[in-house]
Amino acid sequence: MSASYIPSASASPSRPASPVSVSSAPPSPTPSITISLPVWNATFPAWKSPLPSWKRPASTMSRNQKVLIGIQVFIVVYLLSLLAKFHYYGAISRDKLFSLEIPLGGSAGPGPNEDVPLIDIEQLKGNSEYPLNVFLVNTPNYHFEVFVPVIEAFKRIDNINVTLFSTEDGMNKWGLRNAIEIERDGLTLLDAGDTPVDEVGVNPDFIFLTTCPEDMRMLGKSLHVALAQGAHVMCIVHQAHLWDYRKVDQYANEIAFMRPWVERGQWHFAALSRHVHTYIRSNFPQYLETPQREYRPLLFHPVFNYSVPENLDFNSATPFAIIPGKFESERRNYDSIFTEYGKLKCDISLRLVGSGRVPKIADGLNHRIGFITNLNFFEFFHEMSKGVAIIPTLGNEHYLKSQASSTVATSIIAGTPLIASQEFLVAHSQIPIEAVWLQGEHETELQVLQRIGHLPSSAWQQKKDTVERLRWSLIHENVARTERMLNAIGSKYRPVDIASSSS
């Protein structure tokens, strides 16, 4: 996408119109199915008159004193709410548009360690205070396990107009076109290869790039046009360690393109796991050579609502555990896995669900190990939902440091618990210990499988119910954070006197 674009003179004077050179992008990397609170600085006001002592018996207070206390409490609560609102939005005007820092981090909604009741997920809604045009983009033929949760979160926000950008391969991959039911839900679906984002007929206020560098290459100079017209961009970071272009040149051209927009406050980042969120905050000022910039990425959980089978009858068939993903020896040592599994005294069989060339297994294990392939998008999650456990077999240290794993999202979507170590839970702190099969310090993942194989089926179902409650909680967080993000972007149109009246 080699181009140099200069915006037309008709662009709004309040929006940037400086040219940005778009260098020739490197070829797209080999597709992979792995995916991979604002700080409270304000002080409390100093009250001019101290509140009465709360230890004073209420029976000795006069009626006027009680009324005075009530008034003072009301004033305290009101002032604190104003202070929090001012701290959240800040003094925003069109003159400060390009220094706008969207508060995207922090927690929203109930925490995963809380006992979250099963609410009616269909009634979970958010609202954008301002009507916004939102473009959701995923142009390669992978990362649908992220794209679908993004679509679901934005579909739950009222007062926005959503347009989807994919490619012909992406729209037809695994039956995705039918799965997300575009026509019935009233979403516009466009082929990014045929329709640039600046030729849709509406100017986007917000563009969400699900597979960020690859999406940038596909959108080309039209992304620059949208940014020059004032759009904000959210860029999901899948493998954060690859963004250090001083050591890895894979995304060097894309980083050069986005850097001026990062400095203007229009380019933002999202992480799919808490450890990646922390990694971005710590390393991106150096990686993008913006040392004065504070990075507060959006934490977005790649999970969506899926109706798993209720109360599976584990006694009607042999219970099984699952290893998901492509059948590639680079990802995991199958010979070692099968050899160790063959030594277990365990009634739980093993299934590998994914794609690729099926690994060979010893003849004596044919009745205990099976392979399931060629599933479409939702068939995959349906199969995963029937298991007792998911064995992640993460391939490298990046999955605990700088890269999110699609296996984690699959576990939560399907309602099937992972086998996880303490180190894993530290990195993925959004997952409570109650939602996994905890791996002991000196246990292998398969040894955990042998241990849980001796538990009653009621214990398996209880663990799956816990994972389902976690899924509802994380979807709630996604909707709440998405609403906050859109309101922060929409608030650039807020009148200047609102901020001054708050003070």
Please give the Cα distance from 124 to 261 (Å, whole number): 33
Q: What is the pLDDT of residue 217?
A: 93
**Amino acid in the structure at residue 237:** V
- State the pLDDT confidence band at 183, using cuts at 50, 70 and 90: very low
Give how far Cα 487 sits from Cα of 79, 83, 271, 368, 437, Å: 22, 18, 20, 53, 39
* Under 8 Å between Cβ of 160 and 131: yes
Q: Is the pLDDT of residue 12 over 50?
A: no
Least confident span in 40-44, 458-462, 467-471: 40-44
Residue among 171, 168, 167 nearest 182 (CA): 171
SS3 378: helix
Residues carrying CATH 3.40.50.2000, the chain: 314-473
Q: What is the DSSP string of 472-500?
A: HHHHHHHHHHHHHHHHHHHGGGS-HHHHH
SS3 89: helix
Please give the Cα distance from 391 to 397 (Å, whole number): 16
CATH of domain 91-304+490-502: 3.40.50
Q: Which CATH class is domain 314-473?
A: alpha beta
- State the pLDDT confidence band at 19, using cuts at 50, 70 and 90: very low
Q: What is the pLDDT of residue 376?
A: 80
CA torsion, ordered 182, 482, 259, 101, to nearest 10 deg: 150
- State the pLDDT confidence band at 133, using cuts at 50, 70 and 90: very high
Q: What is the pLDDT of residue 120?
A: 61
Q: Is the pLDDT of residue 475 over 90?
A: yes
User: What are the pLDDT digits (tens) for 396-437?
Assistant: 778 788 888 889 999 999 999 999 999 999 999 899 999 999
Q: What is the pLDDT of residue 354?
A: 86
* Under 8 Å between Cβ of 269 and 297: yes
Q: What is the pLDDT of residue 9?
A: 32
Q: What does pTM read for this prediction?
A: 0.73
Provide mean pLDDT across the span 344-353.
Answer: 90
| 58 vs 7 pLDDT, higher one | 58
Mean pLDDT of the chain: 75
Please give the Cα distance from 259 to 327 (Å, whole number): 38
User: What are the pLDDT digits (tens) for 355-393?
Assistant: 888 888 888 888 899 999 988 887 888 899 999 999 988
Chain position carrying tokens 């009148």: 495
The tokens for 39 are: 């700080």
Provide mean pLDDT across the span 196-202.
Answer: 90
Give how far Cα 61 sits from Cα of 73, 75, 247, 252, 349, Å: 16, 20, 71, 70, 72
* Under 8 Å between Cβ of 288 and 262: yes
Q: Is the pLDDT of residue 461 over 80?
A: yes
Provide mean pLDDT across the span 484-493.
Answer: 85
